[in-house]
């Protein structure tokens, strides 16, 4: 098996879901690095700040109830995502490499 490159644009496909919580979260975090996902998350963040947070009365004063962040990506076998790989991601990618197939573009 060839090694994952340290730089460039790479498309990853999940071949199996990590069974550990840390591995699952690492793949989820890597999937959120995709440009399309980042764009949508940024729009949702702006919407939460302006529309979705609510002020409610609590203990005789106003209390801000924040809306939860949207879980945009799903870690499932067969899902694919394309990210710009940097050397800072090398350890994360190496830790979940057995669960991912990759193709350089």
* Residue range 49-97, pLDDT digits in tens: 889 999 999 999 999 999 998 899 999 999 999 999 999 999 999 999 9
Q: Model's pTM, two decimal places? A: 0.84
The answer as to whether 3 is a domain residue is: no
- Does a structural domain hold residue 88? yes
Handedness of CA 27, 29, 34, 40 (dihedral sign): positive
In-domain check, residue 40: yes
Residue 30 structural domain:
8-104
Identify the band that residue 33 occupies on the pLDDT scale cut at 50, 70 and 90: very high
Task: Tell me the torsion sign for CA atoms 18, 24, 29, 34.
Answer: positive
Q: What percent of the chain has pLDDT over 70?
A: 98
Whether residue 96 contacts residue 31, with contact meaning beta carbons closer than 8 Å, is answered with: no
Q: Is residue 2 part of a domain?
A: no
With CA atoms as reference, report the closest residue to 81 among 1, 6, 2, 10.
Answer: 10
Residues 6+ apart with CB under 8 A from 22: 95
The number of domains in the chain is 1
């Amino acid at each position: 098996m060839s090694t994952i490159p340290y730089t460039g644009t790479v498309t990853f496909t999940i071949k199996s879901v990590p069974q550990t919580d840390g591995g699952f979260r690492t793949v989820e975090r890597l999937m959120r690095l995709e440009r399309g996902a980042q764009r949508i998350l940024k729009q949702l963040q702006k919407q939460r700040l302006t529309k979705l947070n609510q002020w409610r009365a609590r203990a005789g004063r106003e209390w801000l109830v924040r809306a939860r962040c949207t879980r945009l990506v799903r870690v499932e076998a067969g899902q694919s995502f394309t990210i710009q790989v940097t050397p800072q991601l090398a350890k994360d990618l190496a830790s979940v490499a057995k669960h991912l197939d990759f193709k350089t573009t």
